[in-house]
Chains A and B, each alone.
Chain A
Amino acid sequence: MIDVQAIRRDFPMFAAHPELVYFDNGATTLKPQCVIDAVTGFYTGHTSNVHRGDYAIAAMNDRLYDGARDSFARLLNCLPEEIAFTHNATASLNQIAWGLSHDFLKRGDVILTTEAEHASNLLPWFRLSHDYGIEIRYIPVDEQANIRLDAFKEAMRPEVKAVAVAMVTNVLGSVQPIKEMAEIAHANGALMIADGAQAVPHMKVDVRDLDLDFLAFSAHKMCGPDGVGILYGKKDLMEQMSPIFLGGDMNARFQKSLTYELKHTPLKFESGTPNIEGVIGAAKACDYIMNIGLDEIHEYERKLRAVFLEKMSKLDNIVIYNPDNEYGPIDFNAKDVFSQDAAGYLASRNIAVRSGNHCAKILHEVIGTDSTIRASLYFYNTEEEVEMCVRACADISLENAIGIFF
């Protein structure tokens, strides 16, 4: 059982803003004190670079930095050397896309994705299409962005060499049948790549059980610092894949005759000085949410969302776009009020939500509206906050939205 009041005491943002209802967790999450301390402790107590110093503090940072892989390996049920640190989910996805084009794919190969993806899981693939003649095809989704397995099977033609989809989509929170999809992809000889940005922070993701080939996500959406991305890949695939960046720390040796040799994986993916304090903080965040329990987090959020949905559904002025999705954010609009005006009104009631197209600019063709409001929860949100949000939503009108300026 989650003791939400005890958890909230771990997050200084709540003490700093007692009035704030933070429902923008899909964008980023708040940080617990232990993560903040891990980051600032690096600045105040043990600053150094990693993998290069012959002194005690440097050795300590090597241990903390490389030890962070153990935390994520436990989170995902994989080997520590299958975890590489990048700068965000976007960087991880770019590495995967570029790496695939460099080492795994050829002209005419097909990649399957969906129209519900975040820009970070589309544009890197678009570029492969322009630069290398790799074809992008969309798996059909229903009006709440769910993939149906029969449609997926039909799309799974012999020329499909990789599938790249979000485990949980960022706008509608559709939970895709990733395990079944991976099985179908593998039976067809295709690689399974998952964008876990909205999934890993909220539910147990076991890469062995799901049989994922690659997985990308960001630490900042799971209570960790900004500037840390996680790239998981099966060891043999990580060994085969070339890094997108070359430079210091990731090479074993190089000669003036232009030859070079890279370090083994995962170090070859971490060129230059990494975000050391960020990675140390990310490991703390990882331990923190594992300590609460991913299954507990998932169940708590599912229940809280159900309460939220039930109350929102009763409001006549609100249209909800993902009522049947059991999980994830609630995506809505107030009738006759532009989403940004409505979000501005909610902000005047201290409710932080996001309006817009949520970096999923082609999704509107699926759900039939250009822009929406997304209220996304995390395990530290409460029923009282849900009540406050619903009460404020009930009051959204054009008059009130304009009224905030007077």
Chain B
Amino acid sequence: MSDYLQMLEDPEVLRELIMDHYKYPHHHSLTEDMKYRKVHMSSASCIDDITVQSDIEDGVIKDIRFDGTACTISTASTSIMSDLLRGKTVSEAKAIIDQYMNMVDGKDYDPALLEEAVAMKNVWRQANRIKCATIGWNAMKQMIEESENGHE
């Protein structure tokens, strides 16, 4: 196991990661650029209200951005997602999203693929927060599917 992955086992490190991504979220601004796809996510049961944008060209995710009001878990999980899936091909991204969804469901997953996203590994214990941990990821999944189906 690499030092990096070992470090991501430490609860203190993971807690700091969530804190940092919440206080200083990455790629946290929207663009007017028309080539971006856009999904607005809000759920009736939680107060999170976020918009995620992505630029997917030739099967590669070139950029991900997001904005909105949301709790620590929603904000941090979306911020981490925006780091992790940037630059990935659509098929790589889909594999990572699958592993992530397994993890937040409390199933087996591959930590090496998920990198910093393993910070969310215990969220499934608070069932009502799973939707927070998946809100941005679901938005991205939706945009990837749209890009594959040739939707604008």
Contact = CB atoms under 8 A, between A and B. Distances in A.
A338 B75 CA distance: 11
A406 B132 contact: no
A371 B47 contact: yes
Contacts, number: 50
Contact of A398 (B47, B72, B125, B132): B72
A344 B15 contact: no
A370 B15 contact: no
Interface in B5-30: 11, 14-15, 18-19, 22-23
B122 A406 contact: yes
A406 B46 contact: no
Contacts of A355: 47
Contacts of A404: 126
Interface residues of A, number: 19
Interface string A343-368: 01001000000011100000000000
B122 A398 contact: no
A341 B47 contact: no
A406 B15 contact: yes
Contacts of B120: 405
Nearest to B49: A370
A399 B19 contact: yes
In this complex, the interface size class of chain B, counting residues with CB under 8 Å from chain A, is 20 to 34
Where chain B touches its partner, the secondary structure class is: helix
A158 interface: no
A385 B122 CA distance: 29
Contact of A402 (B15, B47, B48, B69): B15
A402 B18 contact: yes
B47 A357 contact: yes
Nearest to A342: B71
Given A344-B129, A371-B47, A402 B11 contact: no
B70 interface: yes
A338 B71 contact: yes
Nearest to B133: A405
A348 to B, nearest CB: 9
A371 B30 CA distance: 23
In order of increasing CB-CB distance, the 6 nearest A-B pairs are: A406-B11, A340-B71, A338-B71, A371-B47, A405-B122, A356-B47
25 contacts: A338-B69, A338-B70, A340-B71, A341-B71, A341-B72, A341-B73, A344-B126, A344-B129, A347-B126, A355-B47, A356-B46, A370-B47, A370-B69, A398-B22, A399-B19, A402-B15, A402-B19, A402-B22, A403-B15, A404-B126, A405-B15, A405-B120, A405-B123, A405-B125, A406-B122
